[in-house]
Amino acid sequence: MKKNKEIIENIIKTEYSEVMQKSYIDYAMSVIISRALPDARDGLKPVQRRVLYDMHELGIRFDKPYRKSARIVGDTMGKYHPHGDSSIYEALVVMSQDFKKGLALIDGHGNFGNIEGDGAAAMRYTEARLKEVTQNAFLGDLDKDVVDFVPNFDETEKEPSVLPVKFPNLLVNGSDGIAVGMATSIPPHNLGEVIDATKAYMNNEDISVAQLMRYVKGPDFPTGGIVTNKDELREIYETGQGKIKVRGKVEIEPQKGGKTNVVITEIPYPMIGANISKFLQDIAALAENKKTQDIVDITNQSSKEGIRIVIELRKDADVDNFVNMLYKKTRLEDTFGVNMLAIADGKPEIMSLKQIIAHNVKFQFEIARRKYTTLLNKELEKKEIQEGLIKACNVIDLIIEILRGSKDRAMAKSCLVEGIVDGINFKSKESKIMASQLRFTEKQANAILEMRLYKLIGLELEALINEHEDTLANIFKYEDILDRRDSMAMVITAELDEIKNRFSSKRKTVIDNVEEAVYQEKQIEEMDVVFLMDRFGYARTIDISTFERNQESVFAENKYVVSCKNTGRICIFTNTGNMHTVKVLDLPFGKYRDKGVPIDNISNYDTEKEYVVACESQSRLNLYNLIFVTKLSMLKVVDGGEFDVTRRTISATKLLDNDEVIGVSALTDQKQIVLRSNDGYFIRFGVEEIPEKKKTAVGVRGMKLSPKDFVSDVFYTTASGDSNVMLDNKPFDLYKVKLSRRDGKGTKIRL
């Protein structure tokens, strides 16, 4: 009972909303700081940093054999990044892809994907090792206490909180990532230009963004391309946000016979991956949708050597207008959204070009300070030992006498350090007095006790003295670097120059101001055509003259024949009450015997669930009303204007359960309607008895049917007196059916 009382007393009451808010904020900050955003100092996300450090720990250097990616991923996950192997392997793969990174950090061996979006092979098949630049410029000084090490997730290992990267990697390799409520998108830049800008900032910290842009011209995408809004880059680099317009590079290659090939040799950076195949589909769609008739063939000849997409144009094509169409209608001209967000001083911050460089330079000086402090301490320690050994060599006979006369190491050491001679046997009083005056340091004494006899050789003594002089020179150099910022800046600059000379490459992306592409879409000359669809659902159009020459066979071979404009639409009514629209331009136009296209290929018409009951020109529907007749004898007249829509599919009428449309006709000169049921009943009444209703209405009953009977045929008499039809392959005069009123049972007639 007492225990339960203690539990009740320890319950903390709080608002549920407050707990949720705190928990969500903690989660959001964890994602922002520890997962999705890069650090402004080394330009790396935690998973990237851990992969590189683990490879360093495993000794997978650039000059060593490749190791299985699965080993690297497993070791990284077990020691530093317990968030699943897929995210680790993906980070490893991306760092090896030179078409995504301005400077690849990992040397991949095997299938690591390609620019066209094919993924890397499974980690058990691929191998990797560090690049030389990564080993030297990212991990080279980790043994010099230049960065803080923190416990890993289970506190069994130590990992660096940041890597001592020697240049602004955040700019060189860029970054992209989505956190909670924020995202980063930083384009890659040219290594040599970024290093030059960094040196310029070190020489003048008051330098402006505009002055820095004398060195960093703009982004340098690994895919090349052309940045077309040069004048807008300054604002982007000053604010850290904006949009960069990028075009692919197009070359024109004349061919035999007056034809021309448009060859795309570089693509916009956002196009890499699956967007290349999407780009090819978009070009094909331009031809299919009749946006252009200039394309003869498209081939993708891209390889490891680079991008090469060849578009073959017809002889009289307007090449400039076609290229402008590609810029306007496809992703050959694309936008890269810039949001230079990174972790700076422990919090996310949108930074300008200057701020990113400033954070890295500050980091470089901190690295250098810690590095040369560590080196100085080592040199001071060496100096102490070297001075002790030199001093010992000068009194080596006394040292040997102390060692021979001592009972143990501790006795000899206490004599060397404190001059305690008790218990030591000396050959003479003078030796004892001299020994009592020795005052070596602890480290010097240990070095003397561990010194080997060959060190007493003259050449060895000379080498020791020379080494001592080098140590003194190093101490002077390191103290100068630590005491004077200019000296430290010179050292950092020298390292930057070395990196630039060894690892930089020429700029790939052109920076320019380019006028917006102007594409003049060719106006289609409007003309009268005839829409044909056979009983198999194949549709096409022919011109009026071809139709008039082949009228007899046209009506014999086609189920639907509709006059229309080539710029209009065809409305297809189906038994399910749907109306599908098809652009006439989407239909093949040509000779009478040319093959058509299946109507379901260019519309939403589903051949498995519905069938066509009528086809009409949409422009004609605007002039007339429509009569709808269903299987259960529901009739109505609908204003044709209700079907003047641009949607590909609409519901044309409302149907009762188990009902379907059997006829749709434009109301022109029809005088009377005749319905025939499956049981042989006929009814004839005036069209004026059919009420006009909305397309959403069911309609009224035209004929009383027995339970299993249904309307099978619909006929019309016209004002011109035309009343003869074919029924069951026999001629039949509709006037034989008794004229009555709507909603009667009708008369049974034997044919």
Can you tell me the distance from the alpha carbon of 175 to that of 86, in angstroms, rounded to the nearest whole number?
Answer: 19
Q: DSSP characters for 107-146?
A: EEES----TTSPPPPPTTT-EEEE-HHHHHHTSTTGGGT-
Q: Where are the domains of the chain?
A: 249-331, 370-483, 528-748
Q: How much is the average pLDDT of 356-385?
A: 92
Please report the pLDDT score of residue 496 as a whole number: 96
Return the axis-axis angle of helices 275-288 and 319-329, rounded to nearest 10°.
120
Residue 99 has pLDDT above 60, yes or no: yes
What is the pTM for the complete model shown?
A: 0.72
Does an H or E element contain 747, and which? strand 747-748
Residue 31 has pLDDT above 70, yes or no: no
pLDDT interval class at 516 (50, 70, 90): confident
pLDDT grade for 124, boundaries at 50, 70 and 90: very high
The owner of tokens 């995408």 is 221
Question: Does the pLDDT at position 390 exceed 60?
Answer: yes
Across 13-22, 41-50, 473-482, least confident range: 13-22
Instruction: Render the burial of 19-36: b for 16+ CB within 10 Å, e for the rest.
Output: eeeeeeeeeeeebbbebb
User: For residue range 708-719, what is the model confidence (pLDDT) as tens digits?
Assistant: 999 999 999 987
Which residues partner with 203 through β-bridges? none
Rg (CA), the chain: 43
Q: What is the pLDDT of residue 222?
A: 94
Lowest mean pLDDT among 129-143, 427-441, 567-581: 427-441
Q: Which residue has the higher pLDDT, 400 or 647?
A: 647
Among the ranges given (300-309, 443-452, 454-463, 598-607), the one the predictor scored with the smallest mean pLDDT: 454-463
**Is pLDDT at 97 greater than 80 in this prediction?**
yes
528-748, CATH topology level: Neuraminidase (2.120.10)
**Which residue reads 């320019």 in tokens?**
512
Q: What is the pLDDT of residue 368?
A: 94
For domain 370-483, the CATH architecture is Orthogonal Bundle (1.10)
Q: Give the tens place of pLDDT for each residue, 430-445.
A: 777 787 788 888 888 8
Residue 96: the pLDDT is 95
**Residues in Cβ contact with 573 at an 8 Å cutoff, skipping those fewer than 6 apart:** 579, 612, 613, 614, 615, 616, 652, 661, 664
Query: Residue 80: is its pLDDT beyond 60?
Result: yes
Q: Do domains 370-483 and 528-748 have the same CATH topology?
A: no
pLDDT of 6 over the 80 cut: no
3-state helix, strand, coil in the chain (%, to 5): 40, 25, 35
Which one is the CATH code of 249-331: 3.65.10.10, 3.40.50.880, 3.20.20.80, 3.30.1360.40? 3.30.1360.40
pLDDT at 318: 86
Establish whether 125 is a catalytic residue: yes
Q: What average pLDDT does the segment 286-311 reach?
A: 85
pLDDT, position 522: 65
Q: How confident is the model at residue 238 (pLDDT cuts 50, 70, 90)?
A: very high
Q: Which of 182-186, 482-486, 701-705 has the lowest mean pLDDT?
A: 182-186
In this prediction, residue 410 carries a pLDDT of: 84
CA pair distance 318, 518, nearest whole angstrom: 13
- Which of 384-388, 398-402, 439-443, 625-629 ranks highest by mean pLDDT? 625-629
Q: What count of other Cβ atoms lies within 10 Å of the Cβ of residue 410?
A: 9
Mean pLDDT for 637-649 is 90
φ, ψ of residue 740 in degrees (nearest 5): -140, -160
- Given a contact cutoff of 8 angstroms between Cβ atoms, the answer to whether 185 and 337 are in contact is yes
* Among 47-56, 468-477, 589-598, the least confident range: 589-598
- Given a cut of 60, whether residue 227 has pLDDT beyond it is yes
Q: Can you give the pLDDT at residue 505? A: 92
Give percent above pLDDT 70 in the chain.
94
Flag whether pLDDT at 385 surpasses 60. Answer: yes
Compute the residue count for the chain: 751
Between 134 and 669, the more confident residue is: 134
Instruction: Give the lowest-confidence range in 91-95, 158-162, 569-573, 732-736.
Output: 732-736
Annotated active-site residue in 24, 27, 125, 611: 125
CB-based contacts of 305, cutoff 8 Å, min separation 6: none
Q: What is the mean pLDDT of the chain?
A: 88
